[in-house]
Chains A and B, each alone.
Chain A
Amino acid sequence: MHRMERIWKELGMAVLIGSILLLGGCGTKEAAREKGKVFHYGTMAYGPAMQNAGLDPHDSYCGWSAVRYGVGETLFKFDQNMHVQPWVAESYKQMDDYTLEIRIRDTVTFSNGKPVTGEAVKKCLEDLMKRHDRAPHDLKIDRITAEGQKVTIHSKEKVPALINYLADPYGAIIDVDAGIKNRIAVGTGPYVAVHVDDKGIELKKNEKYWGEVKPKLDRIVVRSITDGDTLAMAMQSGELDAVQGLPYESLKNFSDASKYRISSCATSRVYQAAMNFKTPVLQDNRVRQAIVMAIDKQQFVHVLLNDNGEAAVGAFPVHTDFGKGLHVPSYDLEGARKLLAEAGYTEKDADGYVMKNGQPLSLRWLTYTSRQELPLLAEYAQSQLKKIGIKLNVNATDNYKDFLKRGEYDIYAQAMVTAPTGDPEYYLMSKIASGQPYNNGYYTNSRVDQLISQLHNTFDRSERNRLAIEIQQQVLDDNAVLYVSFLRMSFVMKKNVTGFAAHPSDYYEITPELDL
């Protein structure tokens, strides 16, 4: 027996050593140093699941990739305050309510050297209208005419936010004649795609870039990494130069300022909870207000989001022109309890939940988990509402659309970008106006509806902003939607990376300024 044991022990050791060797062998990295400046970038935001795996802006969300990774540029762009600025366009003139005239810069060329003319832009926009699923409904273009560097857009109906929509990534200007080859479009940006697939993009410098600031990197490798922990560890291992979309908890691992830099910025992605007006108990404004008053937005942002967010007041961030000057009831548990008592919830059951006519106050909170903040908010709200005697049953499911369809919820919490194009109309139109399919709270207020239709027909910026604020204040007075916080997005990069900064629009990542 003895010899046998020894042999098996030796065999076990051999297996152990063998596997260690195997692991070591696989670990030897590509030793050859790459020539020139190469930037390795890991992102959570690219891939088939995001419907943006490609660079053809006229295909679902691929325009986002084209603009983010420096291949495509739109006629107009947003500055840090989400104001529209010319980009490929030089200027624009609103001729009348239905006609917009755009002048294209003389100097802009596609990466293949062809100049960007009015005719090229016309062709591009026509292709966009023909192939894209959302653009025709936003832009409502009747016809386009081109002459020299001038493009004139004739609209079917009034579209006051037309230039904002043209700044949406789907409006990236590409050379339609060059066609789309292997998901690569010919754009005007500082970098040119070499290879595109589901896993990522490889870019090289656009030697003929038209802008004053020339691109500085020779090669960029964009890699899709959809698991947060993997992304964090890939950055920690030193293989990546920068990453986008890390989970909040992982940001702590990059606090060493001698090695990393973090650039972050508030976006208009809001975490909101819509009250369902079909729920009888929620038809009492006092109950809705009590719920609003029970949530401590500051604490939620500070502790649970690690300050990676901004407490919200209305639907749009306070720093935007249409998010200022709003007011909501402040966090006040005692006040909330009083309101509930006024509403007739005077008794309490054995578990401490308030009751009216022997019925405990219990609500269903519907949300989903694919956004990491939403389950956090649900659990936090559950515990806060318990403090004022409301029982919250959380239903956090990625099948939430089934429940929405069947109306099985009292409060629906979701995340959404409220002003993707720097304009308030889209959000108010689809989420707040009566009878809209995405007005999940079935909120209706004739004054709000009237103001929204007024907004739809107003071209003057400051008047639009004023209307948007008035609408939001009415929604807040009705306590129809609880706006909790805005997302703060962050880029983590190695210390030697420069010219890489988060932008509130979430559209611009790789720019000519980027350098190592």
Chain B
Amino acid sequence: MVRRYILQRLLHLLVILFGATFLSFALMHTVSTDTVDVLYTLNGNANAAVAAAKRASLGLDRTFLVQYGDWLWRILHGDMGNSFVSGEPVLTTILQKLPATMELMVLALLMTILAALPLGILAALHRDRFWDQAVRIFSFLGNAMPDFFTALLLLYLFAVHWHLFSFLDASRLPVLPALTLSIAMTAKSIRQVRAVFLDELSKTYVQAALVRGLPVNTVLLHYVLRSVLAPLLALLGVSAGSLLGGAAIVESIFLWDGIGKLAVDAILLRDYPVIQAYVIWMCVIYVGVNLLMDLLSAFLDPRVAERGSDQ
């Protein structure tokens, strides 16, 4: 059952990736300026003949479908093209920067779990009382603060005020960028954690267990936590998406040399191969993380897989 489920999900992944490649490629062709326009006017100097030659050498003078087919074929062979700007193979560049972004993501997810879970439970246990309201206000704040604002605020406090952050030491853990991301993330998920727990706590088996005199923590840790694990894992999978998006902004501010910063630079320069590779890789990671979360919940609770393969 579980194996069929996995196969099905992998097939699903392929369909999604095909759609994603087509979509990201098609988008690039809806605008009338191309990379060459950008490349040769950035600093004011340009020459029509040079531009035309560059255009031909990049293959930008061919029709859309030919370019797409060619591109897809090469991607299937592990060649994501060369950056229009640096000339380096895109795949190499991405693989170089990927670990940094993954490190940031994992740390941010961890911090989110560590903060959202206890705070959400706290709010659920104290429904409509002080802690619940405090958590609620935190959630408003976290949701209202754009990523860049949180980032600048933290940077100001930790770097300028308390001298606790080094800009130049690259060996550090990305604690501040991860904190920035996890503040927004925690604000979003804390409400859902609270809702999930409230829902579970009101169920008869919990009430019955409590009435029978089982210690509350035993009930909470052994029964409630286990049964809310699946929705929580799904929640985490979905949050990975906004983490990836937020990474673009946060990495630029904190000088974290990952994929997000790469993408922002590439967009500025209309470096198509890099933008396309970025979109595809983000999809792979996002879908991959979600797949992992699904499999994990299927492993923890086989009923999920049964339900899943019916769809």
Contacts and interface: CB of A to CB of B under 8 A. Distances in A.
Contacts of B217: 3-4, 7
A1 B216 contact: yes
Interface string A244-270: 000000000000000000000000000
B212 interface: no
B119 A406 contact: no
Given A51-B85, A239-B168, A134 B122 contact: no
Given A49-B269, A51-B85, A438-B46, A229 B253 contact: yes
A460 interface: no
A238 B163 CA distance: 9
A319 interface: no
A212 interface: no
Contact of A8 (B125, B172, B269): B125
Contacts of A42: 167
Interface string A1-17: 10111011101100100
Given A26-B172, A49-B265, A406-B32, A1 B46 contact: no
B207 to A, nearest CB: 12
Given A229-B155, A401-B38, A8 B253 contact: no
B160 A8 contact: no
Contact of A27 (B44, B152, B165, B269): B165
Contacts of B158: 23, 27
B179 to A, nearest CB: 8
Interface string A422-450: 00000000100000011000000000000
Contacts of B253: 227, 229-230
Nearest to A14: B118
A221 B216 contact: no
Interface in B174-222: 175-176, 179, 215-217, 220
**Number of chain B interface residues as a range:** 35 or more
Given A49-B268, A227-B253, A23 B175 contact: yes
Contact of B125 (A5, A19, A26): A5
Given A8-B118, A402-B31, A237 B216 contact: no
B72 to A, nearest CB: 26
Give the one of A7, A48, A236, A430 with max B CB within 10 A.
A48
B166 interface: yes
Give the one of A5, A133, A199, A398 with max B CB within 10 A.
A133
A30 interface: yes
Interface string A414-427: 00110010000000
Nearest to A49: B265
A225 to B, nearest CB: 6
Nearest to A400: B33
Contacts of B169: 29-30
**Number of chain A interface residues as a range:** 35 or more
Give the one of B45, B122, B159, B160 with max A CB within 10 A.
B45
A345 to B, nearest CB: 34
Contacts of A3: 215-217
A84 interface: no
Give the one of B85, B159, B254, B269 with max A CB within 10 A.
B159
Interface in B18-67: 31-33, 37-48, 50, 54
Given A48-B85, A229-B155, A8 B121 contact: yes
Contacts of A416: 44
* Chain B interface mostly: helix
Nearest to B254: A230
B193 to A, nearest CB: 12
A399 B268 CA distance: 10
A230 B255 contact: yes
A181 interface: no
A4 B125 contact: yes
Contacts of B162: 27
Contacts of A376: none
B216 A4 contact: yes
B168 A223 contact: yes
B126 interface: yes
A35 interface: no
A8 B159 contact: no
A5 B38 CA distance: 60
A475 B45 CA distance: 21
Contacts of A51: 39, 42-43, 85
Contact of A19 (B111, B122, B265): B111
B167 A234 contact: yes
Given A12-B122, A23-B164, A48-B85, A4 B50 contact: no
Contact of B164 (A15, A27, A137): A27
Contacts of A437: 46, 48
A224 to B, nearest CB: 8
A33 interface: no
B252 interface: yes
Nearest to B257: A199
B147 to A, nearest CB: 13
Given A15-B114, A133-B50, A405-B32, A61 B43 contact: yes
A474 interface: no
A234 B159 contact: yes
Given A8-B118, A22-B175, A61-B43, A233 B255 contact: no
A47 interface: yes
Contacts of A36: none
A134 to B, nearest CB: 5
Given A12-B118, A230-B155, A239-B167, A399 B33 contact: yes
A238 B86 CA distance: 32
A227 B165 CA distance: 17
B236 to A, nearest CB: 17
Interface string B90-122: 000000000000000000000100110011011
B265 A48 contact: yes
A40 interface: yes
A27 B166 contact: yes
A3 B126 CA distance: 13
Contacts of B14: none
A258 B154 CA distance: 27
A198 B50 CA distance: 26
A226 interface: yes
A51 B265 CA distance: 11
Nearest to B121: A8
Nearest to B97: A198
A278 to B, nearest CB: 18
Contacts of A8: 118, 121-122, 125
A53 interface: yes
Interface string A53-80: 1000000010000000000000000000
Q: Which A-B residue pairs are the 4 nearest by beta carbons?
A: A27-B164, A4-B216, A234-B167, A401-B33
Given A3-B215, A4-B216, 4 more contacts: A12-B118, A23-B175, A26-B172, A236-B160
Interface of B: 31-33, 37-48, 50, 54, 85-86, 111, 114-115, 118-119, 121-122, 125-126, 152, 155-156, 158-160, 162-169, 172-173, 175-176, 179, 215-217, 220, 252-255, 257, 265, 268-269
26 contacts: A4-B125, A5-B122, A5-B126, A19-B114, A23-B164, A26-B172, A26-B175, A27-B163, A27-B166, A29-B169, A40-B168, A53-B86, A199-B255, A221-B168, A230-B167, A230-B253, A230-B254, A233-B155, A233-B159, A234-B159, A237-B165, A370-B268, A399-B31, A399-B33, A401-B41, A420-B44
